[in-house]
Amino acid sequence: MEPKIRGAICMNAHPKGCAEETRRQIRWTQDYFSHHKASKKLERVLVIGASTGYGLASRIAAAFGYGAATIGVSFEKEPSEKRPATPGWYNTRTFDEEAKKAGIPALSFNGDAFSNEMRAKVGDALKSLGGPADLVIYSLASGVRTDPADGTLYRSALKPLGEVYKAKSVDFINGRLGEVEIAPATEEERRATVKVMGGEDWRLWIDYLGAQGLLAPDVKTVAYSYIGPEVTHAVYREGTIGSAKKDLEETAKGLNKELSASGGGAYVSVNKAVVTRASAVIPVVSLYISLLFKVMKQKGVHEGCIEQMVRLFSQRLYGSNEAMPVDTEGRIRIDDWEMREDIQKEVSSLWEKVDDENIDELADLAGYREDFLKIHGFSVPGVDYDAEVDFLNI
């Protein structure tokens, strides 16, 4: 079975490859915590957006690092005899199996996290697991959201605001450099993006669980964000998606005020740029990530999703510091190594120099491609890609 790639999207997923890649993250976590004892046991952790990328890694850290019973919510296509499922479906099956083997309770729901029905299901699931959540991770990346209040469908956009954005970009499959030009978003597109990726739905979740008595007094809730370098600001931080992320940060401040009254807290964690299904489709970001990987690998500080999330749990959320280390805006910065001055300086100097001739030498395109294939279950060591594939099983 071969990957079918169209643009920055891989249309299929290899069941055994996804399973093996999920197990690798579990093994990595178990190995880490066999050398660094977890500071506490977590009872129940809810991860919204739990099947791929940062959400899956968070769930693995919670279960296999902190012994938590986990509830995972995701939205994945199921397989048929003719067509494979989306990668997160296989990842979730594998997670559930491995958790069962380890005697760690896990309940997984496949459906729309933006709906009130899903909130009710998760509420019941928490009750069945014996009580409130210690931690709620919000890791959704979605292009659409139906507002449960009135049924309106909103679509997010990845566009700059105010001005046309032009920048270098790479087709990471054939390695060819080009230039992207993106017209600015309308105010309606900006607002729709805030509706989809801003803080409204996160607040609905926390309000619902709170009203049901399903948040532990010292509950922590964390939503993920990205800031990144100057070169991507116009299309990311200062674009439509950045507008949504700023809304998420405002939501965190409001929630934090309420939750801290009983010893809890709400935070935005700014994570590092990694290759996920969500980040692969953001123009310009793949070139930046390829250059960043080159520099971070050279300096020995490269991390993927699992390394980032284990560091978030062990050195921020449940670290040895009395107070959570946050920046002046109250955000957790686990993008600290990416944003180090020496690293950013080198990346921007490579950004200036990179052209069609030297791209393979200056950028880690091979590493980018490899990660992209792996998140779809391809190019995973130990998997026989010539063997017959059963889409219905892992």
Compare residues 110 and 131 and give the one whose CB is closer to ligand NAD.
110
The beta-strand segments (E) located in the chain are 5-6, 9-10, 44-48, 69-74, 106-110, 133-138, 144-146, 153-155, 165-171, 176-182, 215-225, 265-270, 332-333
The sign one gets for the Cα dihedral 126, 130, 136, 139 is negative
Quote the least distance from Cβ 133 to ligand NAD, whole Å.
Answer: 17
Q: Which of 294, 3, 5 is closest to 174 using CA atoms? A: 5
Q: Do residues 166 and 75 make contact, with C-beta atoms less than 8 angstroms apart?
A: no
DSSP secondary structure string for all residues of 174-203: TTEEEEEEEPPPPHHHHHHHHHHHSSHHHH
In the complex, least distance from residue 202 CB atom to ligand NAD, rounded to whole angstroms: 10
Residue 10 or residue 216: which is nearer to ligand NAD going by CB? 10
Min CB(234)–ligand NAD separation in Å: 17
3-state secondary structure of 263: coil
Which residues does the annotation place in the binding site? 49-54, 75-76, 112-113, 140-141, 226, 245, 274-276
Of 243 and 271, nearer to ligand NAD (C-beta) is 271
* Positions at the binding site for substrate: 226
**Are the C-beta atoms of residues 106 and 96 closer than 8 Å to each other?**
yes
CB of 279 to ligand NAD, least distance (A): 4
CA distance 304 to 293: 10
Most distant CA atoms of the chain, gap in Å: 60
For residue 164, which phi and psi values (nearest 5 degrees)?
-65, 140
Nearer to ligand NAD, 216 or 374 (CB): 374
- Comparing CA positions, the residue from 182, 135, 140 lying closest to residue 159 is 182
- Binding-site annotation: residue ranges for NAD(+): 49-54, 75-76, 112-113, 140-141, 245, 274-276
Which residues in this chain contact ligand NAD in the complex, by CB under 6 A? 49-55, 73-76, 88, 112-114, 139-142, 224-226, 271, 273-274, 276-279
Report in angstroms how near the CB of residue 292 gets to ligand NAD at its nearest.
10
Is 236 labeled as catalytic in the residue annotation?
Answer: yes
Give the residue nearest to ligand NAD (CB): 53
Report the residue number, 202 or 216, with the smaller CB distance to ligand NAD.
202
Q: Which of 66, 90, 165, 236 is catalytic?
A: 236
Catalytic (active-site) positions: 236
